[in-house]
Amino acid sequence: MKTSEEERLTRTTKRCQTCEKEYTTKPSKLERSSFCSMKCRKTASEVKKMKAVMSNAGKMELTPAQSAQIRGQIANYVKDQITIANEVVMNGKDWTPTQARVFGMLLNKVVPDLNASYVQHEHQVKNLTEMTREELEAIASGAKVIEGEYTEDAD
């Protein structure tokens, strides 16, 4: 019979596929063991879906409609987690740091940070035939000076 010290030395360390924590397992279970707990095993499919959505979002340029569609899909994932997040905050339910970070990232995709400012750029397009000689020369010389009238407000 093995002592607890001998058993500890024969165990192998693996990384959980869901929470990425290291855990130990018996050599006989090395091939089929992928999760550190039953909780991680149950949430693995949700985490996998979230990771797939996040990885696909950065691969190509999206139209506004496609972006809205992806935000809608993420919103559905987040909607399912809102009640759980409320339990974490109000009832002391525990989330791992990874779960909290993933939820925060997904929430930012659906509801961007309110501190972020919306910047609108205005462009004035003129036909070449409507431009003055000075404007054309400024473009040709690479000048980046913006001309305009300056008026000072009287107090």
- For the chain, the domains span 44-110
Among candidates 122, 124, 141, 125, which has minimal Cα distance to 133?
Answer: 141
Q: How many C-beta atoms surround the C-beta of residue 88 within 10 A?
A: 16
What whole-number distance in Å separates Cα of residue 65 and Cα of residue 62? 8
For the chain, what percent of residues have pLDDT higher than 70?
76
The mean pLDDT of 12-17, rounded to a whole number, is 85
pLDDT(35) > 80? yes
Are 136 and 128 spatial neighbours (Cβ–Cβ below 8 Å)? yes
Lowest mean pLDDT across 34-38, 72-76, 78-82, 139-143: 139-143
What whole-number distance in Å separates Cα of residue 155 and Cα of residue 153? 6
Are 40 and 56 spatial neighbours (Cβ–Cβ below 8 Å)? no
E strands of the chain, at which residues? 12-15, 22-25
- Give pLDDT tens digits for 54-77: 777 667 777 888 878 887 887 888
What band does 155 get if pLDDT is binned at 50, 70 and 90? low
Q: What is the pLDDT of residue 57?
A: 66
- Give pLDDT tens digits for 85-136: 888 888 888 888 888 888 888 788 777 666 655 555 566 777 778 888 888 8
What whole-number distance in Å separates Cα of residue 123 and Cα of residue 22? 54
Are 113 and 107 spatial neighbours (Cβ–Cβ below 8 Å)? no
Q: Rounded to the nearest 10 degrees, what angle do helices 38-57 and 64-91 cross at?
A: 150
Report which secondary-structure segment, H or E, holds 77.
helix 64-91
Backbone angles phi, psi at 25, to 5 degrees: -145, 160
Please tell me the pTM assigned to this model: 0.34
Are 97 and 20 spatial neighbours (Cβ–Cβ below 8 Å)? no
